[in-house]
Copies of this chain bind each other. A is one copy, B any other.
Amino acid sequence: MSGAIRIAVAGYGNLGRGVEAAVARNADMSLVGIYTRRAPQDVVPLHAGTPVFGIDALAGRERDIDVLVLCGGSRDDLPVQGPAFAARFNTVDSFDTHARIPEYFEAVDAQARAGGTLALVACGWDPGLFSINRVFGEALLPEGATYTFWGHGLSQGHSDALRRVPGVAGGVQYTIPSEDAIARVRAGERPELSVRERHVRECHVVLEDGADPEQVRQAIVSMPHYFEPYATTVHFISAEALARDHAAMPHGGFVIRSGNTDADQAQVVEYRLALGSNPQFTASVLVAYARAVHRMRQDGQVGARTVFDVAPGLLSPKSAQALRAELL
């Protein structure tokens, strides 16, 4: 499409696949291609027409790609890829190691400034949409408390931990926000709640042949850090049920700001996500922000940015005039 925003994807796992799908739903965008570290012929894209290239083929494509969406992992891929690609392309990524965001931001910022590109880091829903709501909450209600709850959602890290327990053939772990804690916060109570008081953990486990269920259950619920501090339940299921009922990657959660505007008046602001597919939704967020990155770069901006720096109207394909008339 002439004039379309030309998007490319670096990395093709669940997130990259979600970006491919999301670009197809946005009429003002086109997908230049998927760039993968695997052999391109081994990658089957969602849409038959999507070109697949090796990652090295990005060399020399600077003028053909408006925004490169980085779909690698935060632990091993992005710390290297983020700064390296930002030196040559406008980028969006979902770097989500909260504690390391400042140093990652600085590394990407230096490369983007040197390269004359714009790079949006740590985008998605947390960090991302949830972060925006934390900022709004504090700014609107300076006297108050902010609560973040995660779930109902599949936790990759806890599912991995579960599968390392002897006797476990497979399984998934869901993080579930405590109904009681949410009810108290919604009612304006403002309790002090640790992460463990805000969440419970639910495990669905397939046993290895001959494994003792009670022994496995005990090994799980007593695992330090991962399960011991939480109210943890373990359900034993068949391999068929695991494949059939637990293949989706739901997630979501709540950001609630509870504050007072005077001694008598309590105000509660709540933002809630109920996501059928975490990677597909995260990809949709990245793609909307890719539109904003393209516009901000067109406007002359360079360097690293976060969602805090992006005006909401830039996310929409509609003009500022149309937004004022239709959505304000």
Q: Report which A residues bind B (CB closer than 8 A).
A: 18, 21-22, 25-26, 98, 101-102, 105, 122, 127, 129, 131-132, 134-136, 138-143, 186, 188, 248, 261-262, 264-277, 280-281, 283-285, 288, 291, 306-313, 315-318, 320-321, 323-325, 327-328
Q: Which single member of B141, B261, B270, B315 contacts A18 (CB below 8 Å)?
A: B261
Q: Which of chain B's residues has its CB closest to A288's CB?
A: B139
Which chain B residues lie closer than 8 Å to A288 at the CB level?
A: 139-140
18 residue pairs from A and B, CB less than 8 Å apart: A22-B261, A102-B321, A105-B324, A122-B328, A127-B328, A132-B312, A135-B312, A139-B315, A139-B317, A248-B264, A261-B283, A262-B277, A267-B273, A267-B284, A269-B273, A270-B272, A306-B313, A312-B312
| A265-B285 in contact (CB<8A) | no
Known: A261-B22, A274-B186. A310 touches B308 (CB 8 A): no
B316 touches A139 (CB 8 A): yes
* B277, A142: Cβ atoms closer than 8 Å: no
Residues in B neighbouring A323, C-beta threshold 8 A: 135, 306, 308
- Tell me which residues across on chain B come within 8 A of A105, comparing CB atoms: 324
Q: Is the CB of B268 within 8 A of A273?
A: yes
The interface residues of chain B lying within 8 Å CB-to-CB of A262 are: 21, 277, 280
Max chain B Cβ within 10 angstroms of own Cβ: one of A264, A270, A317, A321: A270
Contact indicator B327/A135 (Cβ below 8 Å): yes
Given A261-B21, A280-B261, A324-B102, residue A135 in contact with residue B315 (CB < 8 A) = yes
Known: A140-B285, A271-B271, A313-B135. A308 touches B321 (CB 8 A): no
Residue of B nearest to A137 (CB): B327
Oligomeric state, in copies: 2
Please state if B280 and A267 are interface contacts (CB–CB under 8 Å). Answer: yes
Known contacts A261-B284, A276-B265, A280-B261; A101/B328 CB under 8 A: yes
Taken together as a complex, chains A and B put the C-alpha atoms of A129 and B267 apart, in Å, by: 14
Known: A139-B288, A267-B274, A276-B261. A313 touches B321 (CB 8 A): no
Contacts of A265 in B (CB 8 A): 248, 276-277, 280
Chain B residues lying within 8 Å of A317, measured Cβ to Cβ, are 139
Report whether A277 and B248 are in contact in the complex, using a CB–CB cutoff of 8 Å.
no
Q: Are A284 and B140 in contact (CB under 8 A)?
A: yes
Since A131-B328, A306-B320 are in contact, a sample of 14 more A-B pairs with Cβ atoms closer than 8 Å, ordered by chain A residue number, is A26-B142, A101-B325, A105-B324, A135-B315, A139-B288, A140-B284, A261-B281, A265-B280, A267-B280, A267-B281, A267-B284, A306-B323, A307-B312, A308-B324
Contacting residues, chain B, for A316 (C-beta < 8 A):
135, 138-139
8 Å CB contact of A267 from B122, B276, B308:
B276
Residues of B contacting A327 with CB < 8 Å? 131, 134-135, 138, 308
Closest to A277 in B: B265
Across the interface, which residues of B come within 8 angstroms of A261, CB to CB?
A: 18, 21-22, 25, 276-277, 280-281, 283-284
